[in-house]
Amino acid sequence: MPPPSRRPRALVIGGSLAGLSAANLLLRQGWDVEVFEQSTEKLEGRGAGIITHPGLFDVIRVIGIPVDDTIGVAIEGRIVIDRSGALIGKFPLPQVVSTWGRLYLPLKAAFPSEHYHLGYSFDRVSQAADGIVAHFANGESARGDLLIGADGLRSAVRGCLLPEAQPVYAGYVAWRGLVDENALSAATHRDLILESPRIAFDRVALIGDAAFVARPHCGMGTTKAACDAMCLAQALRDANDDVPVALARYQAGRARYGAGVVAHGRELEAHLQGIDTPEATRHHTPEAVMRKIAITRDYP
Protein backbone atom coordinates (compact mmCIF):
# COMPACT_ATOMS: atom_id res chain seq x y z
CA MET A 1 0.00 0.00 0.00
CA PRO A 2 1.30 3.51 -0.75
CA PRO A 3 1.98 5.58 2.38
CA PRO A 4 -0.83 7.93 3.39
CA SER A 5 -0.31 11.32 1.77
CA ARG A 6 0.93 13.95 4.19
CA ARG A 7 -0.59 17.41 4.23
CA PRO A 8 1.94 20.04 3.20
CA ARG A 9 2.95 22.39 6.01
CA ALA A 10 3.57 26.13 5.81
CA LEU A 11 5.44 28.19 8.40
CA VAL A 12 4.33 31.83 8.31
CA ILE A 13 6.63 34.37 9.95
CA GLY A 14 4.68 37.45 11.04
CA GLY A 15 1.09 37.43 12.25
CA SER A 16 -0.20 40.72 10.83
CA LEU A 17 -2.28 41.33 7.71
CA ALA A 18 -0.08 39.63 5.11
CA GLY A 19 0.71 36.65 7.33
CA LEU A 20 -2.88 36.05 8.35
CA SER A 21 -4.13 36.42 4.77
CA ALA A 22 -1.70 33.75 3.57
CA ALA A 23 -2.35 31.52 6.58
CA ASN A 24 -6.10 31.58 6.10
CA LEU A 25 -5.91 30.99 2.34
CA LEU A 26 -3.52 28.04 2.62
CA LEU A 27 -5.50 26.52 5.50
CA ARG A 28 -8.55 26.48 3.25
CA GLN A 29 -6.49 24.86 0.50
CA GLY A 30 -5.76 21.89 2.77
CA TRP A 31 -2.40 22.94 4.20
CA ASP A 32 -1.30 22.67 7.80
CA VAL A 33 -0.27 26.18 8.76
CA GLU A 34 1.60 27.57 11.77
CA VAL A 35 1.92 31.33 12.29
CA PHE A 36 4.84 32.70 14.34
CA GLU A 37 4.60 36.27 15.60
CA GLN A 38 7.41 37.94 17.49
CA SER A 39 5.18 40.06 19.70
CA THR A 40 4.67 38.48 23.10
CA GLU A 41 1.38 40.28 23.55
CA LYS A 42 -1.81 40.29 21.50
CA LEU A 43 -1.46 42.66 18.56
CA GLU A 44 -3.41 45.86 19.10
CA GLY A 45 -4.80 48.47 16.73
CA ARG A 46 -2.08 50.00 14.60
CA GLY A 47 -3.99 52.99 13.38
CA ALA A 48 -6.71 54.14 11.09
CA GLY A 49 -6.68 55.64 7.63
CA ILE A 50 -6.18 52.43 5.69
CA ILE A 51 -7.51 53.10 2.21
CA THR A 52 -8.82 49.90 0.70
CA HIS A 53 -9.16 48.62 -2.85
CA PRO A 54 -11.49 45.94 -4.26
CA GLY A 55 -8.73 43.31 -4.40
CA LEU A 56 -8.48 43.33 -0.60
CA PHE A 57 -12.16 42.53 -0.21
CA ASP A 58 -11.92 39.78 -2.85
CA VAL A 59 -9.31 38.05 -0.67
CA ILE A 60 -11.33 38.55 2.51
CA ARG A 61 -14.40 37.01 0.84
CA VAL A 62 -12.43 33.99 -0.40
CA ILE A 63 -11.39 33.40 3.20
CA GLY A 64 -15.11 33.42 4.11
CA ILE A 65 -15.24 36.67 6.06
CA PRO A 66 -18.38 38.67 5.28
CA VAL A 67 -17.77 42.13 3.86
CA ASP A 68 -20.50 44.54 4.92
CA ASP A 69 -20.89 48.20 5.79
CA THR A 70 -19.01 47.76 9.07
CA ILE A 71 -15.73 46.98 7.27
CA GLY A 72 -15.04 50.70 6.97
CA VAL A 73 -16.40 54.11 6.10
CA ALA A 74 -17.44 54.87 2.54
CA ILE A 75 -16.01 58.10 1.16
CA GLU A 76 -17.02 59.82 -2.05
CA GLY A 77 -13.72 61.36 -2.99
CA ARG A 78 -10.76 63.48 -1.88
CA ILE A 79 -10.20 67.14 -1.26
CA VAL A 80 -7.15 69.34 -0.82
CA ILE A 81 -7.32 72.27 1.59
CA ASP A 82 -4.75 75.01 2.00
CA ARG A 83 -3.31 76.36 5.26
CA SER A 84 -6.33 78.58 5.81
CA GLY A 85 -8.75 75.68 5.39
CA ALA A 86 -9.95 76.85 1.98
CA LEU A 87 -10.86 74.12 -0.47
CA ILE A 88 -8.41 74.23 -3.38
CA GLY A 89 -9.10 70.90 -5.06
CA LYS A 90 -11.74 68.20 -5.25
CA PHE A 91 -11.59 64.77 -6.87
CA PRO A 92 -14.52 62.32 -6.89
CA LEU A 93 -13.35 58.77 -6.14
CA PRO A 94 -15.61 56.44 -4.11
CA GLN A 95 -13.55 54.26 -1.76
CA VAL A 96 -13.77 52.59 1.64
CA VAL A 97 -11.46 53.71 4.44
CA SER A 98 -10.83 51.25 7.24
CA THR A 99 -8.55 50.61 10.19
CA TRP A 100 -5.81 48.06 10.78
CA GLY A 101 -7.79 46.50 13.63
CA ARG A 102 -11.00 46.21 11.63
CA LEU A 103 -9.13 44.09 9.08
CA TYR A 104 -6.88 42.21 11.51
CA LEU A 105 -9.53 41.01 13.97
CA PRO A 106 -11.70 39.00 11.52
CA LEU A 107 -8.59 37.56 9.85
CA LYS A 108 -7.33 36.50 13.28
CA ALA A 109 -10.73 35.07 14.31
CA ALA A 110 -10.88 33.02 11.10
CA PHE A 111 -7.60 31.28 11.94
CA PRO A 112 -7.38 28.59 14.66
CA SER A 113 -5.76 30.21 17.70
CA GLU A 114 -3.83 27.07 18.64
CA HIS A 115 -1.79 27.49 15.44
CA TYR A 116 -1.03 31.19 16.04
CA HIS A 117 2.06 31.46 18.24
CA LEU A 118 3.01 34.67 20.02
CA GLY A 119 6.54 35.25 21.29
CA TYR A 120 8.34 33.50 18.42
CA SER A 121 10.91 35.79 16.89
CA PHE A 122 12.35 34.32 13.68
CA ASP A 123 16.12 34.13 13.78
CA ARG A 124 17.34 32.06 10.85
CA VAL A 125 16.43 29.39 8.33
CA SER A 126 18.14 26.12 7.43
CA GLN A 127 17.50 23.39 4.87
CA ALA A 128 16.20 19.97 5.88
CA ALA A 129 15.82 16.85 3.78
CA ASP A 130 12.88 17.72 1.52
CA GLY A 131 11.91 20.74 3.59
CA ILE A 132 12.94 23.80 5.49
CA VAL A 133 13.49 24.63 9.18
CA ALA A 134 12.79 27.95 10.89
CA HIS A 135 14.81 28.71 14.02
CA PHE A 136 13.53 31.14 16.64
CA ALA A 137 15.24 33.36 19.17
CA ASN A 138 13.71 31.35 22.02
CA GLY A 139 15.72 28.32 20.92
CA GLU A 140 12.82 26.43 19.36
CA SER A 141 12.56 25.41 15.72
CA ALA A 142 9.84 24.23 13.33
CA ARG A 143 9.97 22.20 10.11
CA GLY A 144 7.83 22.89 7.07
CA ASP A 145 7.57 22.49 3.30
CA LEU A 146 7.28 26.23 2.74
CA LEU A 147 8.42 29.28 4.72
CA ILE A 148 6.53 32.53 4.16
CA GLY A 149 8.24 35.75 5.21
CA ALA A 150 5.41 38.12 6.18
CA ASP A 151 7.45 39.93 8.79
CA GLY A 152 7.13 43.45 7.48
CA LEU A 153 9.33 46.27 6.38
CA ARG A 154 12.45 45.15 8.28
CA SER A 155 11.91 41.47 7.46
CA ALA A 156 14.32 39.11 9.22
CA VAL A 157 13.49 36.41 6.64
CA ARG A 158 14.50 38.73 3.81
CA GLY A 159 17.58 39.70 5.85
CA CYS A 160 18.72 36.05 5.85
CA LEU A 161 18.30 35.62 2.10
CA LEU A 162 18.94 39.10 0.74
CA PRO A 163 21.13 40.90 3.28
CA GLU A 164 22.03 43.50 0.65
CA ALA A 165 18.38 44.65 0.30
CA GLN A 166 18.27 47.51 2.81
CA PRO A 167 15.69 50.29 3.15
CA VAL A 168 16.76 53.38 1.19
CA TYR A 169 15.86 56.92 2.29
CA ALA A 170 13.26 58.21 -0.13
CA GLY A 171 14.52 61.78 -0.02
CA TYR A 172 11.58 63.28 1.82
CA VAL A 173 9.51 62.91 4.97
CA ALA A 174 5.70 62.99 4.82
CA TRP A 175 3.63 63.74 7.89
CA ARG A 176 0.36 61.93 8.02
CA GLY A 177 -2.19 62.44 10.75
CA LEU A 178 -5.75 61.94 11.84
CA VAL A 179 -7.84 64.68 13.38
CA ASP A 180 -10.84 64.48 15.63
CA GLU A 181 -13.78 65.46 13.45
CA ASN A 182 -15.03 67.75 16.22
CA ALA A 183 -11.81 69.75 16.01
CA LEU A 184 -12.51 70.81 12.41
CA SER A 185 -14.14 74.10 11.57
CA ALA A 186 -17.71 73.86 10.31
CA ALA A 187 -16.59 74.84 6.82
CA THR A 188 -13.80 72.27 6.68
CA HIS A 189 -16.09 69.65 8.14
CA ARG A 190 -18.60 70.33 5.42
CA ASP A 191 -15.91 70.08 2.77
CA LEU A 192 -14.75 66.74 4.15
CA ILE A 193 -17.71 64.97 2.49
CA LEU A 194 -19.61 65.70 5.60
CA GLU A 195 -18.81 63.14 7.66
CA SER A 196 13.52 43.40 -3.67
CA PRO A 197 14.97 41.96 -6.56
CA ARG A 198 13.65 38.50 -5.47
CA ILE A 199 10.61 37.45 -3.51
CA ALA A 200 10.94 33.66 -3.79
CA PHE A 201 13.85 31.37 -2.90
CA ASP A 202 13.24 27.64 -3.48
CA ARG A 203 11.08 27.05 -0.38
CA VAL A 204 10.85 30.59 1.01
CA ALA A 205 8.42 33.27 -0.19
CA LEU A 206 8.26 36.93 0.85
CA ILE A 207 4.87 38.65 0.98
CA GLY A 208 3.44 42.00 2.12
CA ASP A 209 5.85 44.67 3.30
CA ALA A 210 8.59 42.05 3.61
CA ALA A 211 8.51 41.68 -0.20
CA PHE A 212 7.99 45.27 -1.40
CA VAL A 213 7.04 48.33 0.56
CA ALA A 214 4.32 50.49 -0.91
CA ARG A 215 5.01 53.83 0.72
CA PRO A 216 2.19 54.88 3.06
CA HIS A 217 0.98 57.65 0.75
CA CYS A 218 0.49 55.10 -2.04
CA GLY A 219 -2.36 53.79 0.14
CA MET A 220 -2.06 50.28 -1.23
CA GLY A 221 0.10 48.37 1.26
CA THR A 222 -2.74 46.44 2.86
CA THR A 223 -4.38 45.44 -0.41
CA LYS A 224 -0.98 44.47 -1.83
CA ALA A 225 -0.30 42.31 1.25
CA ALA A 226 -3.60 40.42 0.86
CA CYS A 227 -3.17 40.05 -2.91
CA ASP A 228 0.43 38.77 -2.51
CA ALA A 229 -1.01 36.09 -0.22
CA MET A 230 -3.72 35.24 -2.76
CA CYS A 231 -1.23 34.99 -5.65
CA LEU A 232 1.00 32.71 -3.58
CA ALA A 233 -1.94 30.47 -2.62
CA GLN A 234 -3.08 30.31 -6.26
CA ALA A 235 0.42 29.44 -7.47
CA LEU A 236 0.58 26.58 -4.96
CA ARG A 237 -2.83 25.29 -6.02
CA ASP A 238 -1.97 25.50 -9.71
CA ALA A 239 1.29 23.61 -9.09
CA ASN A 240 -0.44 20.91 -7.00
CA ASP A 241 1.51 22.09 -3.96
CA ASP A 242 4.89 21.57 -5.61
CA VAL A 243 6.58 24.34 -3.64
CA PRO A 244 9.64 25.15 -5.81
CA VAL A 245 7.53 25.19 -9.01
CA ALA A 246 4.86 27.37 -7.38
CA LEU A 247 7.39 29.82 -5.99
CA ALA A 248 9.07 30.23 -9.36
CA ARG A 249 5.68 31.19 -10.80
CA TYR A 250 4.95 33.49 -7.86
CA GLN A 251 8.30 35.22 -8.42
CA ALA A 252 7.66 35.64 -12.13
CA GLY A 253 4.16 37.05 -11.72
CA ARG A 254 4.29 39.03 -8.55
CA ALA A 255 7.71 40.66 -8.74
CA ARG A 256 6.53 42.80 -11.66
CA TYR A 257 3.54 43.97 -9.66
CA GLY A 258 5.73 44.90 -6.70
CA ALA A 259 8.13 46.75 -8.97
CA GLY A 260 5.15 48.67 -10.36
CA VAL A 261 4.07 49.69 -6.86
CA VAL A 262 7.57 50.87 -6.02
CA ALA A 263 7.75 52.83 -9.29
CA HIS A 264 4.43 54.43 -8.48
CA GLY A 265 5.80 55.52 -5.08
CA ARG A 266 8.83 57.08 -6.78
CA GLU A 267 6.63 58.90 -9.25
CA LEU A 268 4.58 60.27 -6.37
CA GLU A 269 7.79 61.35 -4.65
CA ALA A 270 8.61 63.54 -7.63
CA HIS A 271 5.16 65.12 -7.47
CA LEU A 272 5.26 65.69 -3.74
CA GLN A 273 8.72 67.22 -3.81
CA GLY A 274 7.91 69.28 -6.85
CA ILE A 275 11.03 68.01 -8.58
CA ASP A 276 11.55 70.16 -11.58
CA THR A 277 11.08 67.73 -14.41
CA PRO A 278 8.58 68.48 -17.20
CA GLU A 279 6.47 65.50 -16.06
CA ALA A 280 6.47 66.45 -12.37
CA THR A 281 5.89 70.14 -13.05
CA ARG A 282 2.95 69.37 -15.30
CA HIS A 283 1.34 67.27 -12.58
CA HIS A 284 2.26 69.24 -9.48
CA THR A 285 -1.26 70.34 -8.73
CA PRO A 286 -3.78 69.31 -6.05
CA GLU A 287 -5.82 67.49 -8.70
CA ALA A 288 -2.83 65.48 -9.89
CA VAL A 289 -1.91 64.47 -6.33
CA MET A 290 -5.47 63.31 -5.63
CA ARG A 291 -5.50 61.33 -8.86
CA LYS A 292 -2.27 59.57 -7.94
CA ILE A 293 -2.55 58.84 -4.21
CA ALA A 294 -4.27 55.65 -3.02
CA ILE A 295 -5.69 54.81 -6.41
CA THR A 296 -6.75 51.34 -7.43
CA ARG A 297 -4.32 50.33 -10.07
CA ASP A 298 -3.41 47.17 -11.91
CA TYR A 299 0.12 46.46 -12.96
CA PRO A 300 0.73 44.06 -15.81
Phi, psi of 85 (to 5 degrees): 95, 0
Q: Which is nearer to ligand FAD, 43 or 288 (CB)?
A: 43
Per CB under 6 A, the segment of 46-54, 65-73, 84-92, 189-197 that binds ligand FAD is 46-54
Subset of residues 117 to 176 that bind ligand FAD, contact rule: CB under 6 A: 121-122, 150-153, 156, 176
Helix (H, G, I), strand (E, B) or coil at 21: helix
CB 49 within 8 A of CB 73: no
Burial class, 47, CB count within 10 angstroms (exposed 0-12 / middle 13-18 / buried 19+): exposed
Indicate which single residue of 8, 106, 144, 221 sits in contact with ligand FAD (rule: CB under 6 A): 221
Phi, psi of 136 (to 5 degrees): -115, 160
Indicate which single residue of 216, 259, 269, 270 sits in contact with ligand FAD (rule: CB under 6 A): 216
Measured distance CA(275)–CA(216) in Å, rounded: 20
Indicate which single residue of 220, 227, 246, 255 sits in contact with ligand FAD (rule: CB under 6 A): 220
* 233 touches ligand FAD (CB under 6 A): no
* 19 touches ligand FAD (CB under 6 A): yes
* 196 touches ligand FAD (CB under 6 A): no
Strands 204-206 and 48-51: unpaired
Q: Which is nearer to ligand FAD, 128 or 137 (CB)?
A: 137
132 Cβ partners below 8 Å, 6+ apart?
11, 125, 126, 143, 144, 145, 146, 147, 203, 204
The CB-of-221 to ligand FAD minimum distance in angstroms stands at 2
* 14 touches ligand FAD (CB under 6 A): yes
Contact residues for ligand FAD, defined by CB under 6 A: 13-19, 36-39, 43, 49-51, 121-122, 150-153, 156, 176, 208-210, 216, 219-223, 225, 294
